[in-house]
Structure 1
């Protein structure tokens, strides 16, 4: 690798060098991505699949929000489904003597 005396370069030369380095890094990453993709496609083909076959079978999990079960007594925007950690407002209301039944969402 060539040693460059960065202290001897002007501001413009440093900016140009920075731009060239960023471009080279991007090209290097793209080249590695393409090489890796080719390897993965070859492995899939060897197993009798296309890459699309394998990717179609992988579905991202789609977590849907549960409907609210409890609602803050004063701020209707604050709700809780009843699952997971209890929100602070719920804990505070219970500690203040509000019953769980009073916090239920009426349907």
Structure 2
């Protein structure tokens, strides 16, 4: 029966072989994919992947200054999205958005 140290050495050797086999199989798969892409004239964009060259929006997630204020409560609204209830109520009572503008 093998000793603990021998088994650990076998385990380390096996892990190296596993990693080597994995790298080789990945390299083969990538080569095969590149060959098929060249054969059919495909690009990464054709596959639905990201090319990395696209323009990134700088305004996404940024805060917008409020445009309208409720004089009674101080609530504000940017003018984007659904109107808050206080805006709907003010408009229903005859006020205009210009009157609520900051």
TM-score (norm 2): 0.46
| Structure with max Cα Rg | 2
TM-score (norm 1): 0.44
